[in-house]
A and B are shown apart, each in its own frame.
Chain A
Amino acid sequence: RKEVEQDPGPFNVPEGATVAFNCTYSNSASQSFFWYRQDCRKEPKLLMSVYSSGNEDGRFTAQLNRASQYISLLIRDSKLSDSATYLCVVNKGTLTFGKGTMLLVSP
């Protein structure tokens, strides 16, 4: 298994849809987890950290499943402005970034 693996997409969804991304990681000793968002040709920016109990920030919900070694990101009521690449990031002593999942939200 690759260190951090994501479906590259693209996920094409209409406005208002709910979409979910998964990310799997190989190192069971990984300590912390994050989702970053990257717009085309721009720098990545933190979207949210992922906590063991799951956490929500507005329309975004992140979950962690340590037993199965995956994290997920759920986006409800998608907006056009959500179109971006979503990077899964795992901290195992050093940060490892997934290659990203591209989301395209259409009118």
Chain B
Amino acid sequence: EAQVTQNPRYLITVTGKKLTVTCSQNMNHEYMSWYRQDPGLGLRQIYYSMNVEVTDKGDVPEGYKVSRKEKRNFPLILESPSPNQTSLYFCASSGLAMADTQYFGPGTRLTVL
């Protein structure tokens, strides 16, 4: 089954404790991205990647890191999480370009205390 998976789905952590949210797709997609969704603010892009070893900042990259060592994986790293990073996070992938259909993962609900 074609899908985007994210782990964990739910996470409660404390300020400053490094964490990684994994994202994996099995569709051989070139393009992957991370979004956060907050009430009243909608979906905002954090980082995106056009291909392996190619990443770029989205609209709200501060406090986040990403890597794209393999085509299928695009982890999101929070080196020192803060409460303002409490949010619902979505990973997405698309075939060849950003304009292709975005396939979203199920979301990761993160709470930073």
Interface residues of A (CB under 8 A from B): 31-32, 36, 41-46, 87, 91, 93-100
Tell me the bound Cα distance from A96 to B12 in angstroms.
Answer: 28
Contact flag A43-B104 (CB < 8 Å), given A91-B98, A94-B45, A95-B98:
yes
Are the CB atoms of A95 and B104 closer together than 8 Å?
no
Number of interface residues of B (CB under 8 A): 21
Q: Does B34 contact A (CB under 8 A)?
A: no
Tell me the bound Cα distance from A42 to B6 in angstroms.
Answer: 13
Besides the known contacts A41-B88, A99-B42, 18 further A-B residue pairs in the complex with CB atoms under 8 A apart: A42-B106, A43-B105, A43-B106, A44-B43, A44-B90, A44-B102, A44-B104, A45-B104, A87-B42, A87-B43, A91-B99, A94-B48, A94-B98, A95-B45, A95-B98, A96-B59, A97-B43, A98-B42
Are the CB atoms of B107 and A100 closer together than 8 Å?
no
Tell me the bound Cα distance from A32 to B94 in angstroms.
Answer: 15
Tell me the bound Cα distance from A98 to B105 in angstroms.
Answer: 19
Q: Does B58 contact A (CB under 8 A)?
A: yes
Q: Kindly list chain A residues whose C-beta atoms are within 8 Å of the C-beta of B98.
A: 91, 93-95
